[in-house]
Amino acid sequence: MIENLSTRAATRRTLHGALSAVLACLALSTTAPPAAAASPLRAVVEVSAERLAAADVVAAAKWADGSPIEDPRREAEVIGRARALAVERGLSPAVAEAVLTDQIAAGKSVQRALHAAWSADPASAPPAGPGALAEAREDIDRANRSLVHALADSAPARAAAVCPALLSGETTRACAARGLDPVRTSALRRAVGSVCG
């Protein structure tokens, strides 16, 4: 009888140990896999989205003072500075120019959409304080520098065959995370149109 009790106790300990091992294995197998590393293109998309956000302030300032959306002199300055920084960073100036040209076009598409909405309903136009355009342009200039750095840092990813798929995924993620409407979603996709290659 005593032997029977000790055998039962040993069996329970063995079963308990085995059950613990099985539960530990199950816990390991059901934990989420480690998060995938961010794509090297994420910085390019994030900076592009930040740059694009400034289009609203620029549009409001231009609306308030009656300035045209087109500003060829400013656009040439932006592209010239981006080309010069690209040379310093070892990035092709042609790449910097192509991407900045897309960024500018994307920003103007948002400005046009806003101006059209405000033309239809002038009361919906936001007020633009004094200096708003200058401040927005400083933000854009900072974003342009960050963008050239991100383009240089992501050169291998931009040259890879999977670049379009990675870029599309990062753009979709950024649009969802920022809650972008269709106008700004389309503009962001346009802004990164020349990134791969």
Per the structure block, which two tokens stand in for 43? 């910085």
When pLDDT is averaged across residues 39-68 and rounded to a whole number, the result is 95
CB 166, CB 174: distance < 8 Å: no
15 CB contacts (<8 Å, ≥6 apart)? none
What pLDDT digit, counting tens, does each position of 80-127 carry? 999 999 999 999 999 999 999 999 999 999 999 999 999 999 999 998
In this predicted structure, what is the pLDDT of residue 21? 39
In this predicted structure, what is the pLDDT of residue 39? 85
The three state secondary structure string of the chain is: CHHHHHHHHHHHHHHHHHHHHHHHHHHHHHCCCCCCCCCCCHHHHHHHHHHHHHHHHHHHHHHHHCCCCCCHHHHHHHHHHHHHHHHHHCCCHHHHHHHHHHHHHHHHHHHHHHHHHHHHCHHHCCCCCCCHHHHHHHHHHHHHHHHHHHHHHCHHHHHCCCHHHHHHHHHHHHHHHHCCCHHHHHHHHHHCCCCCC
Q: Is the pLDDT of residue 25 over 50?
A: no
What pLDDT digit, counting tens, does each position of 129-182 carry? 888 999 999 999 999 999 999 999 999 999 999 999 999 999 999 999 999 999
When pLDDT is averaged across residues 39-59 and rounded to a whole number, the result is 96
Q: Is the pLDDT of residue 2 over 70?
A: no
